[in-house]
Chain A
Amino acid sequence: MTPTRRDLLIGGTAALLTTAAAGVPPLWAKPFDAAAWRDYADRFLRPEGRIVDTGNKDVSHSEGQGYGMLLAVAAGDRAAFDRLWGWTQRNLMVRGDGLAAWRWQPEGGVTDRNNASDGDILIAWGLLRAAEVWKVEAYRAAAVAIVKALAAAVVVEQAGLTVLLPGRDGFRKGDSLTLNLSYWVFPALRAFAALPASLLPDPALWRKVADSGLVLLAKARFGAYQLPPDWLTLDAKGGVTVAEGFRKQYGYDAVRAPLYLALDGYRDPYYFRPFAMLAAKSGGDAIPATVSLPGGTTTQVPASVGMLAVYRLACELAGTGNSVTVPPLAATEDYFSTTLAHLSALAAQSLGIAP
């Protein structure tokens, strides 16, 4: 792989990050740098090595561990990374199949042993980044084990597509599948596909997963803004509908779809336009956090700073001419919002549309 600016940024070296700190344009959230990481770790990383979801009763989950590990690598903080990975192994990798239990609660620990595929994907990607940056084969081996376990447990074929089940159990209803497009962490899938065949039996599988994700994002467009739902149903014939049994909305999950696309270097306006349209239609008012589908009813809750950062990115890439002002992160900003803000900054930097 030829290293690109994106690789350098997301792969991250502390040196590069610290130099990018000065001269922040006012409209962008601050770039992700060593200071940003220190602040993040102070607020969300407990000494034992778990990231706390402050918006959700201080639970920890595999997704948070994955985000934490990625940001730690980007900031070059190997000690923090090791604490995160250690805690994850001890507390979440308790299923016996190589995947992580999705949630750990301060009272009771792991009460639901199902996995969340995006958490596993983020953790494996974090490990791969760490293996490259710090040249540690053990990280790579651990990553490969997770990728193999994912391939066995959650990658399935449906209607000619290769898709990710959101978790190992409970997402098949009759001959339909319930899917979550925000679990397609595109840059991670690309990293999996780039693994040598000597380590992984079928790396190309992950290219198919990524391609299918793009296909699904083109199919799953609902409501006036043609937004993807948080949860969708893929039937045996390839038809896509908003899933029953979940809140029928676009929101906290699906907002990550454009973020992951941008992080992977996609820039086709077609894929960013729905999000830019939502931002544009909201005009000067706050962008709503969720939009019901297909009805279009919006919540009173406004999009968080992190979500606004994603919208700003989407508008830039959609070329719709509108822009979104992203306020600075508040001192009380929750874990999810802060994470989205940092990842958006990384994506913008890697695409060359922000310093």
Chain B
Amino acid sequence: MFGRSRLSRAFILTASLAVTGCAGWVENNLTQAPNPWRRLAPADLPVTLPNSPQFPIVAGRTRTTGAIYTSYMVVLGNPTTLPGENRLTLDVHTLPDSLVGALIQPPRVFPVPLYSTQTLTVTLAREFPGMTVKVADGARRNRYGDYDYAVAQDAANTCVFAWQLISDHDRMLPRRIEAVRLEYRVCGSDRNPRVLLRSFDEMALTLPETVLEIDDLKRL
């Protein structure tokens, strides 16, 4: 198509919904404000982490935003004296289970793309004040595909910040899940960032429906 670009994406995205009999304005009863965090026993978290004496699970929390977002936070031990908590967060974006929900979805709790240069700079400055920060040139890979990360250092400590979006709903994600966003922030005294990333590299998601791993796909 040259020149005229019209009636584009929105049509194609929604054409398959085949909604019938539901016309006019539907009142938006979804609130976008997240509900308060609730505690969650580590055993009930939808993620399994390798045993790590340096970064044990201190506590788990969960909260929902509207009807389709559930977030989990795993706070990990922090052997340094730096400010800020070590943690792994998961945001699970499920597909609405009603037609009304399909028409009216609250805005995403995380942006896509996850970071721009600008927002990443702001985030890293907030997470690691006063440290030297470098965004890794190449991505790394865990069980769920490639992820990006940054490393922050000062004289005594090293920190890593990794982020990942699982959005391959054709192959990896179950039908009901639209996307999973992961974020991992850990500070330690080891100078080698790979050691700090180990938990993120080896974690396994245990959501109610199975998320397939990259290796599963290769075997298929």
Q: Are chains A and B touching in the complex at the 8 Å CB cutoff?
A: yes
A25 shortest CB reach to chain B, Å? 29
When the two chains form the complex, which single residue of A55, A171, A173 contacts B4, counting CB atoms closer than 8 Å?
A: A55
Tell me the bound Cα distance from A97 to B18 in angstroms: 11
B15 / chain A contacts, CB cutoff of 8 Å: 112-114, 169-170
When the two chains form the complex, which single residue of B6, B25, B28 contacts A174, counting CB atoms closer than 8 Å?
A: B28
Q: Are A55 and B11 in contact (CB under 8 A)?
A: no
Chain B: interface residue total (CB-CB under 8 A): 30
Check: B220 CB closer than 8 A to any chain A CB.
no
A170 / chain B contacts, CB cutoff of 8 Å: 10-11, 13-15, 17
- Beyond A112-B11, A114-B14, A152-B23, whether A236 also contacts B28 by CB under 8 A is yes
Check: B106 CB closer than 8 A to any chain A CB.
yes
Tell me the bound Cα distance from A68 to B24 in angstroms: 29
Check: B62 CB closer than 8 A to any chain A CB.
no
Chain A's closest residue to B19 (CB) is A169
Q: Pull 21 A–B residue pairs with CB atoms less than 8 Å apart, ordered by A.
A: A55-B2, A55-B3, A97-B20, A102-B11, A112-B12, A155-B24, A156-B25, A167-B7, A167-B10, A168-B23, A169-B14, A169-B15, A174-B104, A174-B105, A174-B106, A174-B107, A247-B5, A252-B4, A252-B5, A252-B6, A253-B6
Chain B's closest residue to A57 (CB) is B1
B30 / chain A contacts, CB cutoff of 8 Å: 174
For residues 143 through 179 of chain A, which have their beta carbon under 8 Å from a beta carbon of chain B?
A: 152-153, 155-158, 166-175, 178
Check: A336 CB closer than 8 A to any chain B CB.
yes
- Beyond A173-B107, A174-B106, whether A252 also contacts B10 by CB under 8 A is no
The majority secondary structure among interface residues of chain A is loop
Check: B51 CB closer than 8 A to any chain A CB.
no
Q: Determine the interface band of chain A, counting residues with CB < 8 A from chain B.
A: 35 or more
B9 shortest CB reach to chain A, Å? 6
Tell me the bound Cα distance from A168 to B3 in angstroms: 25
Given contacts A113-B18, A172-B103, 19 further A-B contacts (CB under 8 A): A55-B2, A55-B3, A56-B4, A113-B15, A152-B23, A157-B25, A167-B10, A169-B15, A170-B13, A170-B17, A174-B28, A174-B30, A174-B105, A175-B28, A175-B104, A245-B9, A246-B8, A252-B6, A336-B4
Tell me the bound Cα distance from A102 to B95 in angstroms: 27
Tell me the bound Cα distance from A102 to B18 in angstroms: 15
When the two chains form the complex, which single residue of B2, B7, B28 contacts A166, counting CB atoms closer than 8 Å?
A: B7
A182 shortest CB reach to chain B, Å? 9
When the two chains form the complex, which single residue of A153, A236, A245 contacts B10, counting CB atoms closer than 8 Å?
A: A245
Chain A's closest residue to B1 (CB) is A56
B108 shortest CB reach to chain A, Å? 9
A330 / chain B contacts, CB cutoff of 8 Å: none
